[in-house]
Amino acid sequence: MTTPILLAVDQGTTSSRAVLFDDAGRILSSHSVAFKQHYPQPGWVEHEPEDILRSVTEAIQTAVSLVDNAAANIVAMGITNQRETTLVWEKATGRCVCPAIVWQCRRTASYVEKIEKDGMSETIREKTGLIPDAYFSATKLKYILDTLGLHERAENGELCFGTVDSFLCWHLCENHPHVTDESNASRTMLYNIHLHKWDNELLEYFGIPEKMLPRVVSSAEAVGMLSPMIIGKPIPMCSLAGDQHAALFGQACFDEGMVKNTYGTGCFMLMNTGSECVQSKKKLISTVAWRLSGKTTYAIEGSVFVAGAAIQWLRDEMGLISSAQESEALASSVKDTGGVYCVPSFTGLGAPYWDMYSRGTIIGITRGTGRAHIVRAVLESIAYQSQDLLNAIIEGSGVTPKNMRVDGGASANGFLMQFQADISGIPIVRPQTIETTALGAALFAGYAIGLYPTVDDIRKYVRRDSEFTPKMSEDERSARLRKWHDAVQRSMDWAK
């Protein structure tokens, strides 16, 4: 008997990846295609919609070509995607009216100031779980309609809006389904996460006609068939989910109180809060984790702006290391940082500080401080920042997790993971497949077609690789955290 194959597409900010998994969640092949970033003005970030489509198609075709007979055995596929990035295209032709405005793009910051002036911040927070920011899709979509004079065409039903999941489904599937899943919808700042629908008051406030919005579906549900033009055979498109949401699922964080942290360029930490939407007082985001079989699971989310990016800085700007991997051996070559603390707030501090004027700080340097101490202090800063997030999530939810599951490029660093366990005082669990985002998309798709009858049947396919247990004494842990918080205070307000 042949093994069923699941195809996952992970459409990220800098590259598109396709991964084939067997039905036990093991990777059979993987291929990634990078594409160009466009920075037309300081603070602006755009993608060419054609580049997104081309890179996804190429990634799928190559990943499929690497496995014998793959096309014949693929039973379902899923998409997971960079979130919030906004696209608008013509219903009649599929042509986008402008480049994709990427989540990182700050061009609509003035719209957000207006939200505050209009006294709409609290309403938005209550309805969408989000803190109003240029990051989310609503102001980007409003900007496109305003600046290109498209309100009338949108009212006439000539235009479609979508995040990347929606855009890919429409363009790659037969009969152009115009859909998005609830996790992606929850990042638009237009979706009422309690009532599970586009919010009329917010649509009116932003001037967005509902006609142009996608239909909201579950995260695991057949929505169409991938066009046979791509791999010579139609494939059921069975799941859509935002990348961090798919990673939470791919880490099997199915129960309330389970947490995952992704260590990439920045860090994204999500805690499953179950069927209840927890509104945090610590300025964290409440979001839809996923919707399965008509039931919504919520999460609370926080992010660190600079994590792995600080390691890139050590390599590319400081020249203190020649590769990210080297940081581990170097940090382990000294017994501690010799009292050095680094706060890598290159672009300000996110949760729980929210100080956009904080700037990078290295403090505690003495005549004996060397390269290894600095590198170690930078790695430790990633763990300290994650601990601050974890603490905020614990305070916000009132739940202390039993452990924290980790993934992302920098989770390969054993020193960092051990230090995280020490400073957080809970075990850190690293899975065998650190491609948890793609795995999540594949598992959602498998669930949609009944390959896994219940979510519980999936747990065994998320295998652990290592567990790092805390070894630091409580006294040392609190002394170090005190020093870290002192360093953070000294970094604050610097650029004001």
Contact residues toward ligand ADP (CB under 6 A) are 264-265, 308-309, 311-312, 324-325, 327-328, 408-410, 412-413
Q: Which is nearer to ligand ADP, 304 or 410 (CB)?
A: 410
* Min CB(432)–ligand ADP separation in Å: 16
Return the number of the residue (165 or 221) whose C-beta is nearest ligand ADP. 165
The answer to whether 270 and 248 have CB atoms below 8 angstroms apart is: yes
Q: Identify the sign of the CA torsion 180, 184, 185, 190.
A: negative
User: For residue 216, which of 237, 201, 187, 196 has the smallest C-alpha distance?
Assistant: 196
> Nearest CA to 75 among 3, 148, 142?
3
User: What single letter denotes the amino acid at residue 138?
Assistant: A
Q: What is the CA radius of gyration of the chain?
A: 22
Half-sphere exposure of residue 360, counting CA atoms within 13 Å on the CB side? 13
Among residues 281, 308, 350, which one has the least CA distance to residue 492? 350
Residue nearer to ligand ADP on the CB measure, 163 or 413: 413
Residue with nearest beta carbon to ligand ADP:
409
> Which of 147, 312 has the CB closer to ligand ADP?
312
From the CB of 495, what's the least distance to ligand ADP, in Å? 23
Question: Min. distance of Cβ 80 from ligand ADP in angstroms?
Answer: 12
- Return the half-sphere exposure (C-beta side, CA atoms, 13 A cut-off) of residue 406: 30
Give least dist CB 209 to ligand ADP, A.
34
d(CA 473, CA 423): 9
Question: Least distance (Å) from ligand ADP to the CB of residue 308?
Answer: 2
Q: Residue 481 Cβ, how far from ligand ADP at the closest point, in Å?
A: 21
Contacts of 326 (CB under 8 A, 6+ apart): none
Q: 110 or 325: whose CB is closer to ligand ADP?
A: 325
Nearest distance from C-beta of residue 98 to ligand ADP, angstroms: 25
The answer to whether the CB of 127 falls within 8 A of the CB of 145 is: no
Rounded least distance, CB 156 to ligand ADP, Å? 39
d(CA 137, CA 141): 6
The pair of structure tokens assigned to 13 is 């900010």
Which of 269/309 has CB closer to ligand ADP?
309
Nearer Cβ to ligand ADP, position 209 or 250?
250
8 Å CB contact between 474 and 112: no
* Rounded Cα distance, 482 and 478, in Å: 6
User: Phi/psi of residue 75, each to 5°?
Assistant: -100, -20
**C-beta of 36 vs 215, nearer to ligand ADP:** 36
